[in-house]
Structure formats: structure tokens, C-alpha cells
Amino acid sequence: MTEVFLANRQVFRVFGKDKEAFLQSLLTCDVSVRPCYGALLSSNGRFLHDFFISEENDHWVMDVLKEHANEIIKKLNLYKLKSDVFFEEDTRQVWWSPNELLHNLCFKDSRHQNMGYRIYQNKSQDLSAALSDYIDHRIKLGIPESPADLIYDKSIILECNFVEMDAVSFKKGCYVGQELIARTYHLGQIRKRLTPINLEEDKGQHSDLYRSVGKQYALAMLPCV
């Protein structure tokens, strides 16, 4: 398996002296530890958008779902008020590799120890391995992605393996939507969870609960046992 082009992601640069405090107050993850992965929630604790945050020279790099990019930047600008933080579009593409590459911005995907590496670079898309290789790899590890698994303004991140992906912090200060997440986590009220399923073994038994579906595996929202 070689590098895979992730056409559905878009990159932005984040500048300003308040960038850490600003994003720390919004995202579920602890952005003081970078690279990191987390989410922006609604005020009632439902998933809206996911973010990869990494660091490069004097700025940060933010990787988001391309189809929601304009909405994300608009929402962040609405939240920032007088904070010294601003965003610039980055023309680099998002790629993934199972192996670390000698590249100026290649970092380990923090969602799982075996999830491989994300790379921001521009290269011919003709050199990309099949996207299905990446999809099957992440599904097998139980890694959800939007929009197939993480449903806008509906999904609860504790049902979507965010604790296991180190994508939510219970030690940092407040962030948008924290109340539902903290209460649900501490009361142990998680009744269902996204679970990887081997398609051959499942034989369609849970097909009505499938979300992402790959060549060999699917993610399904199953009751906790």
C-alpha cells in the first residue's frame, strides 16, 4: 500500500497569538498537545465538524472536511470576536500513508497507533493508491470519519470512539458542548457504539446498521454489550 490522496479534505493555516487559547475553548481535544484530532460540537453536544491540528513554523495547520470548509471558517470567525487568530486557505493536498515519509509536514495520525501518517503536499493524483485501501484500513481499526460515520448535528462522539482515539479531553477547561459529553461519560450512559464488522463473517446480518462500508469491513452502530 502506498500513499493515498484524500480528496474530501481541505487544509487551512492558522495564525495569531491567541490561536491556542481560541481553539482550546472550542474543540473537544487538548490542542496544547500537537498534532491532535478533535471535533467542534453544537451547544447541545452533537457533532458538527472534525479537525486535525498540526504545527508548522510560526503557524498551525488545520485539516477539515472540504464540503463544509466554508461553513467551518465562517463559524470560527463568528466565535473569535476580538481574539488574535485568523485563517488562510492552504493549497496543499491531504494524503495518507501507512509509513512515515521524509516530508516537511508528515505527522502520525493520532487516532490510533496503527493509523499511519497524514501528509500535506502537492503531487499528481495519478500516483495515488486506491482510496478503498485507506477506507478498509481505518474501518478495521474502528476509526470513524465524516460524513459517513460522523453525522452532522446528530452523532454523539462518545458513541463514535472519540475517547479511544484520544480526541476528547476530560482534563482541560470548558469547550462548546462539553456538558453533555462530560455527563454522559461520567454516568456511563453509552448504550451503542460504532464497531468494526467483518463483512464476510457478518453476512449482512447488521446491514441496516452499517455506516462506512469497505471491501472487507464495515462500521456499524451496535448496542453495547
Q: How confident is the model over 102-159, as pLDDT tens digits?
A: 877 999 999 999 999 999 999 999 888 999 999 999 999 999 999 999 999 999 999 9
pLDDT of residue 121: 94
CATH code, domain carrying 131:
3.30.1360.120
- Residue-level length of the chain: 225
At 128, which amino acid appears? S
Q: Is residue 221 part of a domain?
A: no
Beta-carbon neighbour count of residue 192 at 10 Å? 13
Q: Is residue 90 part of a domain?
A: yes
pLDDT of residue 126: 87
DSSP character at residue 215: S
Which candidate, 91, 93, 89, places its Cα nearest to that of 126? 93
Q: Is residue 97 part of a domain?
A: yes
DSSP character at residue 92: P
Reported confidence tier of residue 42, pLDDT bands at 50, 70, 90: very high
Q: How many domains does the chain have?
A: 1
Which candidate, 53, 48, 46, places its Cα nearest to that of 75? 48
Domain coverage including residue 107? 4-188
Q: Is residue 17 part of a domain?
A: yes
Calculate mean pLDDT across residues 202-206: 94
Q: Is residue 215 part of a domain?
A: no
DSSP character at residue 63: E
DSSP character at residue 157: G
Q: Is residue 209 part of a domain?
A: no
Q: Is residue 200 part of a domain?
A: no
Reported confidence tier of residue 188, pLDDT bands at 50, 70, 90: confident
Reported confidence tier of residue 1, pLDDT bands at 50, 70, 90: low
Least confident piece of the model among 3-7, 13-17, 62-66, 183-187: 183-187
Considering the entire predicted model, what is its pTM? Answer: 0.94
Q: Is residue 224 part of a domain?
A: no
Alpha-helical regions (H) of the chain: 19-24, 69-80, 131-140, 178-187, 199-202
